[in-house]
Amino acid sequence: MRPETDMSHEEIKDLLPSYALGALGADESEILVRHLPTCDSCPGELAEYQQAVGIFPGLMPQATPSPKVKERLMALLSPPPGSAFSWRRFALAWTPLSLLLLAGVLAVSFSLSNQLQTQQEAMATVLNLEGTEIAPQAQGIIFFVPQQRMAMLAVRGLPAPPPGWEYQLWLIRDSERHSGGTFVVDSQGRGYLFVQMPQDIASFPTAGITMEPEGGSLAPSGDRYMLGSI
Amino acid sequence: MDYSQASDELLISLMAQGKKEAISVLYDRYARLVFSLALAILRDRQLAEEVTQDTFFNAWRGAAGFRAEQGRVSTWLSAIARHRAIDELRRRRLPVLNMEEPWWETLASNPSSASGEEGILLMQMSKALSDLPREQREAISLAYFGGLTQEEIAERLGEPLGTVKTRIRLGLKKLREAIQKE
C-alpha cells in the first residue's frame, strides 16, 4: 500500500536531511521518493546533503586492510563481465529450460560440496514472483537450495527504471526485510541477481522487489513491483 | 595504457568492459577509505575486510550502472560499503559505535594528512562537526554509523521523536552550509 500524505512541500523538504543519512522510516521514505521526481528544488538540495554526508568516510581514522583482501577480490573476478561466458548474458537469455538446467546444476554442485547433505536437502526450491498491479506483465523466479546461502533470481517484463534508480530484492520473514541485492534490467525488462545470505535463505518464505535509489536502500522505500511466496 | 593515471570515472568505465587492471588500481586508491569506514561501523577487522571485498566486488558487477553525473566514485563506493556494513551490523546484532569517541576530530589532530581541494573539504567538515551541539552530532552519528532510523534513535536516547528529527535536520543543514561557504 502506498502511504498517503497531505504533507506540505516544506514538510516534505524537511525530510531531506534524514533521507540523506538513511534515517527515514519506510513510509516517510516512500513519500519523499514519490515527491522527488515532481519537484524542481528538492533533488538538488538532496544532492547537497548527500555530498555533505559523503565526506564523513574521509574523516575516519584511516586503516589498511590485509593484502589478502585484494588477493581474494581479484580471484573472484574471473570470468569478468565482458568475457565469453557471463552470468549476466546467461540470465538475459534465460528461458524456462535454462533455469531448470541451472536448478539442476545448483543442486548437484551443492550436493557434491557437502557429502553429509541428503539428496532431498540438496534439491533446489523455487519461489515464483508475480508482477503487482504496477507491473502486471512481470514474471520472476528464485532458485535456492535449503541449508545453503546462495540463490539466483531471474526476472522479465519489468519496466526500465529511470536514471538513478534500480530494482532491489527483499527477502521477507515476518516483519523482517533483508536486502538480497540490487539489479538492473535490459530493454526487454530482463534481469538477474545472485543472492548470498549469511543465513539459510530458505527460511524466508516470501520475496518482493521494489524500485529504489541507485545503490539500494536499507529498507524498502519505493513501489513494490513484484511479490511471491513459496 | 597506464591505468594508474586514469580518472576514477575512466576506471569504472574500464571495469564495465571487464578490465581487471582497472579495479586493481581503484582498489589501491580507495581500499583504505572503504575499510576504514567499515571498521568504524563494525569494530571488527575480519568483518570489515569482508565488507571491503564485497564492496569492490559489487562495484565490479555494478560498474556499468555507475553514472558520473550523480556523484563521485568515492561517494558511490562509500555508500555501498556503508549499506553492506550496516546490514552486517544488524544481522549480527552488533553494538552501535560508541558516540563518545570523537571520530570527526582525527583529521584535526593530523592536518598534514589532508591536502588540496579534498583536504579543504575534509577540514571544513571536521570543524563543522566539532562546532555542532553535542546532541545534534550524536543523532547524526547514530544514524550514519548505526544505521538507526529517527524512531530508533529517539527510543535509544529516550527523547521525543520530534526532538530527534529537529536535531538531525538542524545539524545536517549546518554541515551542508559549511561546505558551501567557500
Predicted ipTM of the assembly: 0.88
* Interface touch B179/A52, C-beta < 8 Å: yes
Q: Which residues pair with A191 in a beta bridge?
A: A155
Closest alpha carbon within chain A to B40: A60
* Interface touch B87/A179, C-beta < 8 Å: yes
Nearest to A61 among B20, B57, B106 (CB): B106
Which residues in chain B are closer than 8 Å to A58, comparing Cβ atoms? Answer: 33, 74, 107, 118, 121-122, 125
pLDDT of A96 above 60: no
**Residue B169 near chain A (CB below 8 Å):** yes
Chain mean pLDDT for chain A: 76
**Residue B30 near chain A (CB below 8 Å):** no
pLDDT digits (tens, 9 = 90+) for B44-79: 999 999 999 999 988 887 888 787 776 789 988 998
Q: Hey, what domains does chain B have and what are their CATH numbers?
A: 1-95 (1.10.1740.10), 97-182 (1.10.10.10)
Mean pLDDT of A120-130: 67
Nearest to A23 among B78, B81, B149 (CB): B149
The pLDDT of residue A102:
59
Going by pLDDT thresholds of 50, 70 and 90, the confidence category of residue A122 is very low
Q: Which residue has the higher pLDDT, B2 or A49?
A: A49
Q: Which of A90-94, A133-137, B22-26 has the lowest mean pLDDT?
A: A90-94
Distance in angstroms (rounded) separating the CA atoms of residues A20 and A17: 5
* Interface touch A59/B106, C-beta < 8 Å: yes
Q: Which of A133-137, B90-94, B97-101 has the lowest mean pLDDT?
A: B97-101
Q: What is the b/e burial string over A118-131, where b = at least 16 CB atoms within 10 angstroms of the residue's CB? A: eeebbbbeebebeb
**How far off is chain B from A230, nearest CA to CA, in Å?**
23
Q: Hey, what domains does chain A have and what are their CATH numbers?
A: 1-77 (1.10.10), 88-229 (2.60.40)
Going by pLDDT thresholds of 50, 70 and 90, the confidence category of residue A14 is very high
The pLDDT of residue A98:
54
Please report the DSSP string for A155-218 in residue order: EESPPPPPTTEEEEEEEEETTEEEEEEEE---TTS-EEEEEE-SS-GGG--EEEEEEEETT--S
pLDDT digits (tens, 9 = 90+) for A178-211: 888 888 888 778 888 877 665 666 677 888 999 8
**How far off is chain A from B83, nearest CA to CA, in Å?**
7
Mean pLDDT of B168-181: 92
pLDDT of B88 above 50: yes
* Interface touch A61/B33, C-beta < 8 Å: no
* Interface touch A25/B150, C-beta < 8 Å: yes
pLDDT of B158 above 50: yes
**Residue B52 near chain A (CB below 8 Å):** yes
pLDDT of B21 above 90: yes
For residues A181 and A197, is the Cβ–Cβ distance under 8 A?
Answer: no
Going by pLDDT thresholds of 50, 70 and 90, the confidence category of residue B144 is very high
Closest alpha carbon within chain B to A88: B61
The pLDDT of residue A146:
59
Q: Which residue has the higher pLDDT, A214 or B26?
A: B26
Going by pLDDT thresholds of 50, 70 and 90, the confidence category of residue B103 is confident
* Interface touch A182/B62, C-beta < 8 Å: yes
**How far off is chain B from A3, nearest CA to CA, in Å?**
17
Mean pLDDT of A15-35: 88
Q: Which of A79-83, A112-116, A205-209 has the lowest mean pLDDT?
A: A79-83
Going by pLDDT thresholds of 50, 70 and 90, the confidence category of residue B151 is very high
Mean pLDDT of A131-146: 79
Distance in angstroms (rounded) separating the CA atoms of residues A191 and A22: 26
Please report the DSSP string for B80-105 in residue order: HHHHHHHHHHHHTTPPP--TTS-GGG
